[in-house]
Structure 1
Amino acid sequence: MRKAMYSWGTFTGRDKWEKGAGENARMLPKAGHEERKKLETKRKRKLKTVAGKLLKAVASGKEIAAKKAESEHVAGNLLKMRTNRKEAEGETSAEETVCEFIEQGKFFQACNCISDLEHSASDAVGKSESLYMLLAERMWAVVGEALHGSDRVLLEPLQSVGESLAWEKQKEEEWLGRDQEMESVSTWHPNFWKKDLEEKLTQYMAAQIPRFVPTCNTDEAALKQHLSQLETTFLPNLEHKSGFFREAGLLVTYARCCHASLSSHLSTLTDNRHCTFSQCLVVYEWCLKMYKSGSGTCLRPRQTSQHSLALDVQSLVWIILKTEEKLLAVTRKEVGKALEEAFEIGKTPCADAAVVQIFREKMEAAQHISESLSEKVEAVCLEECLSFLQSYENEVRNFLQIDGCPGISSSLRILENCCILRTAWCKLTHICSASTGQDAKVKGFLYRMEDEVTEHFLQTVTSRVKETLKDHFKKCDSGFNHILESLKQSFSAFGKKKPDIYEALVKSVNIIIIAEYVQALLTTSRKPSSEQRKRIVSKIEEDHRTLQTIFKECLGPAAGALKDPIKAILELIQTSDAEGMKIALLPILKEFPDLREEHLSAVLDIKDSLSREDRAALLKAFHDNCGETESEATLLFADIEVKPRKYGLCGCFCC
C-alpha cells in the first residue's frame, strides 16, 4: 500500500497539541493557585477530547454498538483517574501519555507505558486494564480500516499493531518464566489480543466470500461457477491486501485466517447432506488445483520466510485432506445406499453388471484426478461391500425368522441375490485389488447365506406341499396345482440368470414333491369305493402330467434323469392282468429298493377289481425279488410310514 505523504501527527493534531502544552508549562512557575486550577481543568478537558476522538475512530471503524458503549464507559473511567505520585506543575500524567500514544497510533509505546503503570501503584491494575481495553479498540479500528482499504490508514499504526502483539507474546513468556500465577496470566487483557485479531480478520474474510447455499437441486455447473468466483475474485482480493499486512509483520496471522476462512467455507460445501460424490470430487479437484498452482498469496505467499511458507503448505494440505476425508465418506455412503437399494429383500434382483457399475463409475472418476485418490476410493468401495454383506446377512437371518414363513419367491430372490453378488464380486476382483482376506470373507458370507436360505426354502416347500396334499385325494381342488404353478413361475424367473445352484435346487424340490405326493397317496383311505378308486387314478394321471410339464420346463433335458415313482405306480395299477403286474413290479423294486410290503399293499388297494389270488401272487413276487436290488439305488420310501394292512386270522394272503 502506498504510504501517505503527510505525517500521523498532522492528521491527529499532535503538533498543535504539543505547542500548547509547552506554552502551559512555561506559564506554570509564574502562576498562582488559580493558574494551577486552570491547568488541571484544561488537562481534564484535553483527556476528554482524546477519549472522544478515540470513540469517534472506533465508531467509524464499524464496531458494534455494544463495544462502543463499553468504550464510552472506559473513557469515563479514565476521566476519573488520578495518579498516585505528586506531579510537578506542567508535567503530563501517565494516563495522558498513554492516551497520546494511542491517539497517535503508537500502540507499542502505549503498551510499554501501561506496563510501567501496572507496577507503579496498588490500584494501577484497574487503570491498566481500562487502558488496555481502550488500546485494543483503537488497534482493531486500524485493522478494520486496513481491511476496508481506507485512505486514512498509514503503515506505521498497523506496524505498531504487529509490534504490540509481539510485545504481548514476549511479556507472557517472561511471566511464565518467572512462575507467575497462571490465573494472572490467563486474565491479563493483552492475552486475548491475538484471538481478537484473528476473529476480526476471519469475520471480514468470511463476509467477502460470494454467497452460495448448496441445496438438493445444486448441480455441478453451479458449484464450478462458485469455485471460479472464489478463484477470480475472493482470493485475489485477499492477495491484494496481504502485502500491507506483510509489511506490518502480520502476514502469518493474516495467512492463517485466510486458510481458516477458506477451509470453513469449503466445509460448508461438502458437509451438507445434499453433497454428492461428483460434487465433492469437484471441490477436491479445485483444492488440488489451487495447491499445485499456488494461486494467491493467501495460499502460497511469495517472499516469505521458510516458516511462513511451511505453515501455508501445511494448511493447504490440511484442507485437501479434510476434503478427501469427506469425499471418501460420501463414497461410502453412496455405495452402501446403492447396494441396499439393489438388493432389497422382496424386490426384483438387479443385474450383476449394474452392481459392478456402482463401483466402476466412482473409481474411474477418481482415476481422472489422481492414481492415489483412485486407490483410496477403490479401497473404500471394497470395504463398504464387505460391510454391506455383513449387514445383509443379518437382515436375511431376521427375515427368515419372521413368523408365518416368508414366501417361496422371496427366498428364491435372496438366493438369486447371492448368485448375483458372487458374479459381481468375481468381476470386481478383476478391476480392483482385493486382498486374499477380503476375497475369503466375501465368499464366506455368500456361502453361509446360500446354505441358510436354501435350507429354509426347502423346509418351506416341504411344509406347504405337505399341508396341501393332506386332503388332496379327498377334495376336488386342494390347491396342489396352485403350489406347482407358483413354483413354476418362481423357478422361471430364477432360472433366467442361470445361477450355479439352480439345477440342484430344482431337483431337490422335485424329490420333496414326489416324496410328499407318494406319502399322501399311500396314506389315503385304505378302503376306497370303486368310484373313489377311479377318481384317485384319474387325479394321479393329471398330477403326473402337470409335474412332468413343469420340471421339463425348469430343467430341460436334465429332467429325463429324474426318478419317477408316480409313473411306476400308475403303470402297476393300470396293468390289467397279474402277470403283467409282476413284470411291472420288477423295475420298481430295482429302482426303489426301500419299497416295503406295506407300501405295495397300499398301492394295490387303489387298483380296482384285484382278486385276492392276484394280490397274493404279487406280494409273493415282492418277497421273492425284494433282496436282489443294488444298495446304491435311490431311497424314496424309507421315510414313508404306512400302517400295515390287516390280513385274515390265519395270517395268509388269501383271506
Structure 2
Amino acid sequence: MCFKLCCCLRLGCCRAEDSSYSSFAPPSLTSFNMRTETDGFRLNFLPPMFNFRRVRPDDGNNGNNGNNGNNGNAAATDGRPSPGEEKPPNVVLSFHQLMAAARLCEAGRLLLEREERLFAAPQEREALVRHREEARALAADRGALRDLVLQTVSRSLDPDEEAGGGALEALASALRAVTQEEDRDRRWAQSGGEPPAWRPAGWRALHDAALRRLVEERMDNPAAAGAPQPGRSSLQADVCAMGRQLKEDLLHVVRAVRGCYPPGMDVCNAYARLYHRTFSARLRNITEFGLEDKDGSFLLQWVNEFYPEVLQKPELAGEIDVDALGKLLPDNVLKPLEDQYLSTQQGELSTFIGRVLQEAQQSWSKGEEPAREDGCFVSPVSYDVIQLINGMVTSAQRVVGDLHKAQSITSPLKDLMERFRIFQNDVMKQNKPNSRPAMKANLGCIEQFRVVLQENRHLFRQEVRENCLQVLADMKQSAHAYLLKPVHEGLKPHYRKLGTSDWLNKPVFEKLLAGIEKELQDLQGSIESCHQELVGRLHQEVTAEYLTRLLKGQVKLKDKEQQLKGYVTVKDNAESLDDLFLKMGSQEVRLKDILTKIAEVLKLQDLPAIQMQVASLGKDYPDLSEKHVSALLKLKTNLSRADRKTVKDVLTDTRSQHSGDADRPFFSGVVVK
C-alpha cells in the first residue's frame, strides 16, 4: 500500500521529550530536508483493521541474483528466514486512521510535520499553486482534528461505559495535542516569521471554553433531576440535583480526569472554579423572584452548610483550594435571605413561648397543681423553651453560617421573660391554694433558665443574657420571700424572746428550733437544688433575725460572768441552729462562724483582743457597719464610750484595706436602729 507524502511523515512517539519535536525550530531559523522515501508510523501489533503491510520497492526480485531474492536480513539456510530473525511487518497509519483510533496527539504530530514542511522555506513561483492546495488540505485536517479534540474534551465527565472503552486514553491524547499546539503557537510567536493563517491556534482557550460549556450544560440538566421528594418543593429538588451533580462530577475529576492532564493545567481547581461560578449564577437567578420561607432557608443551608461539606470531602479537600473559591453567594444576595429567615425564627420562638406560658397560666387558673416528679413540683415551661432555643440557635448557626447572627433569634427572650415574671407575680398576688405548689415549680424553671443562660452563653447575645439573668434573680428573690413569709409569721412568737433575760435563763431557743423544724416540712416540694437554696435562705434569715433581736440590747451583760454566760448561750445556739439547717439541706455553713465570732466578742475582756475580733469580722463581712459594732459593744456595759470608739476605728481601717465577701452580704439583713 502506498501513501501520499503529505500524510505519511515519519513519527516518533507523541511525547514532549521526543527529539524530533522538541528540537523543532521555526522556518526562519532552519531549512527543511525532504526525504526521498515516504516513511511512516510503524506498529508491530495492531487490531486486524489496522494490520497493513508496507511493501518496499526492493521486496521480491529487485534485479539482484535470484539467490538474493529473499530479504537480505534472513538467513539463507533452507530459503526461509529463521524464526528468531523474522521481523514483524512494518505498518504505517495515516492521519485519518490515527483519528479513527482516537490517537489525537499522534495525528496532531503528523499535521505539525506537514506544517513544518510547507512553511519551512519560501516557495518558488511554480510551486505556489501546489503549496496553496496543500495548505488548504492541511487547514481542513486541522479543523477536523480540532473538532475531535474538543468533542473528546466535552465528554470528559461521561462515565467510561457511556463514553466507550479507552475514553480516558483518548482524553489524555487530546490534551497532549492541545499542549503541543500551544507549544507551536509560542514557537511561531518567538520566531518573528510570517505564520500560517491558523496561527496562533489558541487551542487552550478553545479547551477552556469547551469545559465551561460542558459544566453549564451539566448543571442545567443534572442527571439526578426528577420529581420532587415528598416534603420538598420543586426548587429544593432542583438545587439538590445541581449540588449532587457538582459533587459527583468533581469526584470524577479527582479520581479519573485529573490523571489525563499535565500538572500545570491544575484541572481540579479549574473544574472547581467553573462549577462554583455556574452554581452561584443559578442560585442568584433563583433568588431574584423572591422565595418562600422554607425555600429561602433551604438555599441558605446549601450555601453555608451542604456546599462547604461537599468541598471538605477528603478526596476533594486535598486537591481544591476551597478558600480561593469564596462564598457561593455574595453578601448582598445573602442578607435579605438571612433577614427573612431570622425574622421568621424569632416569630416562631415568640409564638411558642407565648403558647407555653398561656397553657401554664390556664392550668393554674383552673386550680390545678403542677405535675410531680419524684415528689417535686415541676413545670414544663423551662424545659420546652430551653429545648426550642437550643435547637433553633444551633440550626440557625448552620443555616446562616454565623453564630452571632443566629443568636439574634433569642432577642425576644427579654420580653418573654418579663411575661413570665408578670405571670408569677399574679400567682403570688392572688395566693390561691395552688399558688404555693406553682411557686415551688417555678423555682425549678428559674433555676433551669439560669443554668442555661450561664453555661450555654453561645446561645445568647450578651445584653439578652444579662437582662434575663437579672429578671430571673428578681423572680427567685420574690418567690423565696413569698414561700418564707408564712414561715416567719409562724416563728414570730419565738423571735420575740430572743435577746431577753428569758432567752439567757430559760430554754427559749429549743422552742424556736422545734418551730423551725415543723415549718421546714411545709417548704418541701421543690426540686432538690432549689429546696436546698430555699432552706439556706431561711437559715440566713433566721440567723439575721436572731442577731437583730440580740443587738436590740434588751439584755445587759454587766460583768465578766454574765458576758461569759452570753458567750456560751450564743455559741450553743449557733451550733444547734447549724445542725438543724444542715440536716434539712442548707449549705450556709458560714452562718455558724458569724455567730461564733459574735459570741467571742461577748466573752473577751481585753480591749486589743476585742479589736482583733471585730477586725476579723469586718474583714470577712464588709457589710458589717459601725452601728452593728456599737450595738454589740453596748451589750458589754463595762466598756466605756472611748473603748467603743477605739474598736469602731479599727473596723473603719479594716474595711478600707479588705473587700471581703461582698457578693454574699449578711449584716445588711440585720436591722439595727
Give the TM interval when normalised to the shorter protein.
0.3 to 0.5
TM-score (structure 2 length as normaliser): 0.33
Between structures 1 and 2, the one with greater helix share: 1
